[in-house]
Amino acid sequence: MAAMEVDAEAGTLQLYQRDVNCLSDDDRTTRRRALTRLAASVSTLASDEAAGMQTLAALWEQSLRAPLLKLLADPVEKNRELALALTAAVLEALPQPVIRASLAHVAPAAAARLSSSAAAEPTEELRLELLRLLGTLARRAGTPLSVYLPEIAAALRAGFADPFPDAKKAARLAEMRRWRPAACSLCVQLSDVLAEHIEPHCAMLARALLPALAHQHSRALVALLLREPSALAELGPQLALLATDRASSVREQAVGSVARLLAEMPHREANTARLLPHLLCALSDEVESIRSLAHTSLARLGGSTDARIRAADTLAGTLWLVGPAATDHLGPLLAALSKTVEDSDEGVARQARPSALCRPKPGALRQRPT
C-alpha cells in the first residue's frame, strides 16, 4: 500500500512538472505562461485541505521552490510580479512545518531583493510585496525566522536610507511615502513576533529610521525602544521634535508614543526624566484633544501633581548643574517650558519658572531661533 501511495503521488506531481520545467525556459513568454498555469494549480490544490495540501507541499519541496525563487530576480518585471504572487500564495497555504523548513531558502532570497546591492528590486510595488512576504513569514513561521534577522534588518536599513539614485524625483518621493510605512509596519511586527531576538538590531534600525522619521513612523520607533531602551539617549531628541511639532496630528501621535513608552518600557524609572517633560508640555497644548490625552495618560501612569512637580524641580536642578551646556538643547527646552510655566496647576507652573530663568551662554537666544 505504501509503495502504491508513493507511485500515486509521483504521478500526480508529474502533472505539474512540465510547467515547473518551463520556469527555466529562455523565452520570457514561456516563463510567464508557466507561472500563470501554476498559480491556477496552486489555487486548486490549496482548496483541498487533505490530499491537495499534501501534493502542494511535495510539489513545493521537490521541484517548485528553487526555480520559483530564482524568478524573483527575473529580468522581466511582469514575471517577477507573477513569481512573487505565486510564492506568497504558496506560503499562505503550506502547513507551518513546511514553511519553517523553507526559511533558509525564502528569507534570504526576499531580503536580498530589498537590499542596497545590485540585486535589489527596482520596482516600488514589488518591494512592497516583498515586505508583505516577509510579514507572512514572520506571522506563519514565528521564532525560527530570528535566524535570518541580520539579513532582514540590513534590508530594512537599506530601505530607510533610500539608496536609489532618483530619490529626489517627485514620483520617487511618492513611492517612498508608501515604502516607509510598510517597512515600519514590518519593524513593529518583527518586534512583537521576535521580541526576544530583535534587541541586537534595534539601535541600528532606529538610527536608520531617524532621517525619514515622521509621526506615522513613530510606532516603529516606539516598538524598537521597547526592545532596546538604551537607544533612548540617542533617539530622545528626535522624539522631542515630534512632541513639539507645528502639526497637531504629529504632537498627538507623539503624546501617545511617549505615554506607551512610560507605561511599557523596561526599567522605565531610569528613562522617566527623558520622557515625562513631553507629557508635561502637552498638558498646556493649544489643542484640547492633546491636553486631554496628556491628562489621561498621566492619570493612567499614576502621574500625580507631586510627580509632575518633582519632574519640573529635577529639570531646574539639572539646568543649574549643566550651565552653558544646556544651550545645545535650547530649542526643545524653551518649547516645553513656554507651555509648562502657564500650566493650570500653580504648583507645577511655579516649579517650572526657575528652569525658564536659567541663563544660557551669551548670544544663544539670537543664534537659535525658537
- Asked if the model's pLDDT at residue 247 lies above 90, the reply is no
Mean pLDDT of the chain: 79
The domain defined by 8-94 folds into Leucine-rich Repeat Variant (1.25.10)
Please give the share of the chain, as a percent, with pLDDT higher than 90. Answer: 32
Does residue 47 or residue 206 have the better pLDDT?
Answer: 47
Which is higher by pLDDT, 307 or 3?
307
Identity at 289, one-letter amino acid code: S
Q: 332: which 3 cell numbers?
A: 526643545
163: helix, coil or strand?
A: coil
**Of the spans 7-11, 108-112, 154-158, 172-176, which averages the highest pLDDT?**
108-112
Residues in the chain: 370
Residue 209 has pLDDT above 50, yes or no: yes
Closest CA to 344 of 257, 303, 284: 284
Q: Is the pLDDT of residue 30 over 90?
A: yes
pLDDT for residue 156 is more than 90: no
Higher confidence at residue 322 or residue 226?
226
| Residue showing cell 523596561 | 266
Q: Which has more pLDDT, 126 or 245?
A: 126
What is the Cα–Cα distance from 23 to 74, expressed in whole angstroms? 10
Compute the distance between CA of residue 75 and CA of residue 344 in angstroms, rounded to an integer: 64
Task: Provide the percentage of residues in the chain whose pLDDT is more than 70.
Answer: 71
Per-residue pLDDT, 73? 94
**Taking the domains of the chain in order of start, what are their residue ranges?**
8-94, 96-227
Q: Decide if 25 contacts 74 (C-beta within 8 A).
A: no
Residue 113 confidence (pLDDT) = 92
pLDDT digits (tens, 9 = 90+) for 47-84: 887 788 889 999 999 999 999 999 999 999 999 999 99
Q: Quick one: pLDDT at residue 3?
A: 42
At residue 133, what are phi and psi to the nearest 5 degrees?
Answer: -65, -45
Q: What is the pLDDT of residues 106-118, one digit of tens each?
A: 999 999 998 877 7
For residue 312, the tally of other CB atoms under 10 A from its CB is 26
Q: How far is the C-alpha of 144 from the C-alpha of 146, rounded, in Å?
A: 5
Say which DSSP state 63 is in.
Answer: I
CA distance 130 to 47: 24
pLDDT at position 351 is 61
Highest mean pLDDT, choosing among 4-8, 125-129, 296-300, 323-327: 125-129
Asked if 355 contacts 312 with a C-beta cutoff of 8 angstroms, the reply is yes
C-alpha Rg value of the chain to the nearest Å: 27
322 neighbors 284 (Cβ within 8 angstroms): no
Asked whether 172 and 122 are in contact (CB, 8 A), the reply is no
What are the residues whose beta carbons fall under 8 Å from the beta carbon of 269, sequence distance 6 or more? Answer: none
Report the pLDDT averaged over residues 199-221: 71
pTM equals 0.68
Higher pLDDT, 313 or 87: 87
**Cell, residue 238:** 528626535
pLDDT of residue 183: 80
- Rounded distance, CA 333 to CA 315, Å? 10
Burial degree of 331 (CB within 10 A; 0-12, 13-18, 19+):
middle
Higher pLDDT, 299 or 190: 190
163 or 248: which leads in pLDDT: 248
Mean pLDDT lowest for which of 24-33, 113-122, 176-185?
176-185
Question: Quick count: other Cβ atoms within 10 Å of Cβ 334?
Answer: 17
